[in-house]
Structures are given as C-alpha cells and as structure tokens.
Structure 1
C-alpha cells in the first residue's frame, strides 16, 4: 500500500497493476526480505556489542569443541526448538538461521553501515533475481 501511495503521485498506475515492479523501482525490499534485513542487522550488532542485553542474552556465539575451519567464522548457535510452529519464529531461532545463511564475506564486514548497505544489496538480488 505504501508503494502505491508513493508511485501514484509520480506515474499513472492502475490499482490492479502488480506491486513487484513498483518495489523494484523504489528499491524497496519485500516484507520477507525486510524482516531478514532487520534480523541480520540485529545479529551483526550482537557481534559488535551494541545489541541491547535483553536481545543479546538470547543469542549464543558458536564455539566448536575442537579446532575446525569454521572456528574463526562469526557464527551463531541455533538452539534446539521445543515447538515446531512457534519455536522457529522466535528471535533466538531466526537470528542464527538468517545470520548463518549469509555469505562469510558479508558477515565479516568491519562497520555496521557497510554491513547494512551490502546486506540490502544481497537481499535485493535474492528478492529480484532477474535484475
């Protein structure tokens, strides 16, 4: 709906036109990818130390019991889930899932602003692969 309000002022668009080209033109992420963007940003802030303690306490950094190649990577431990339906939607499950699915070079960026910019570009290419 917000995309329609912004575009309606600029161009003649019909109510029944598909919203995907509007999102691409505005460079907005679809809701699913916007949620991944927010969760990924919070996970980055966990490693940076700027995440509020009430959220940071629900995340655990992955530390393998023996020396592995993945020992040096910034990964989060995915907790065991009690409820299949609601457990997968909790922050403590979603943040590690989203974070660990990101490419290593993206997870290792030095600043939050660089991370946000590159994450949005990465998610935009995931959402709109034909560009």
Structure 2
C-alpha cells in the first residue's frame, strides 16, 4: 500500500483545480492517479482486514464524489453505479478470478497454473461436470487467503455460464457484469 500513502493528498490537490476541468478530463486524471493505484497488486488484498478495505473504499468514494462534484454527505453507492465502478472488495475478487481463468487456460505463469487443480471426485457425482476447482483444507486464516484456496473458492461460486466462457474478453465482461449486478450494494460504509 506504499503507493497509496500520498493518494489523499493528491486528491486534495486535484480537487482545487477540478472545478475548471470538464468531466471527461477529470475521469481520465482520476483513473490515472487513483484507480491505477487501487488496482495495482490488489489481488494481494484478498482476506485483508475490514479496516484496510474501508480505507481504500473511502479513497474510491472520494474520487467518485470529486468527478461528479457531489457533496460529502451524498451516498457513494449511486455515484459508483453511475461511473460503473465496482467496490474495492469486488475489484480484488475480479483480479483473482481473472488470474484463475488465465491459469486454467495455461495463459498464466507456470507457478499459478500448478496451483489451480480441477475438482475430480473419487466417485461419480453430478458436481464432476460443473467446472469446479478443488478447494484444499487449511488450518489458518493465511492459508485460506492463499491463491490456491481463494481462487478455487471464488471460482466455484461463479455461475456456470461465466466459467465456461471461451475467451478472456468475454469472460471479463461477464464477470464484471456479474459483480456489478450482485455486489454493487456491498459497500459497507457509504458516508465517508
């Protein structure tokens, strides 16, 4: 989170000049300054504390209010919906699931491909044909947050139509729509 340290200061500085800029320019600047930093290595944030997620969500909400010139008292949920931005939790899950898709199709580094194991039951079950991944048991919270476990858990909860997608572009589009429809109301704290 080192690159995020100065982000609130950058937003404050940008706010001072934002009223002189048209909305498309503001969106471009915010994407360059804020969104790129929120998305950088965010797959590592899977399972992090609610405090860290809340801090990042607060930054995203502030950026949305800056673009739309909304007062701080306004709820961020409609603003995120208007901008087609996913909450931080969904962005983390999205990144993990994209890595999982690439690993399953051998389009990722070998070390990630080796961590993704298709589910093969010992006897004939209906779940054998559902494109499931094997979720290994762990004894620690850190183990549950590892790529192999997190990827399999998230993948197994996806609808079959998304899991059986034949190319990465369509997969990303369907996945983003799935998160947008089912998780836009996940934002835990709307008033920052």
Q: What's the TM-score once normalised by structure 2's chain length?
A: 0.60
- Show the counterpart of 2:117: 60
Distance 1:30 1:5, change over 3 A: closer
SS at match of 2:173: helix
Uncovered stretches (5+) of structure 1, i.e. residues with no partner:
none
| Correspondence for 1:4 | 62
Say whether 1:15 aligns with 2:67. no
Paired position in structure 2 for 1:27 = 84
1:87 maps to 2:143: yes
Greater than 4 Å deviation, 4+ residue runs: none
Q: How many residues align?
A: 127
Q: Which has the higher contact order (CA 8 A, sep 6+)?
A: 1
Aligned: 1:115 with 2:171: yes
Richer in helix (by share): 2
After TM superposition, the structure 1 = structure 2 runs for residues 90-105 of structure 1, keeping only pairs within 5 Å, are 90-105=146-161
2:80 touches 2:86 (CA, 8 Å); kept in 1?
yes
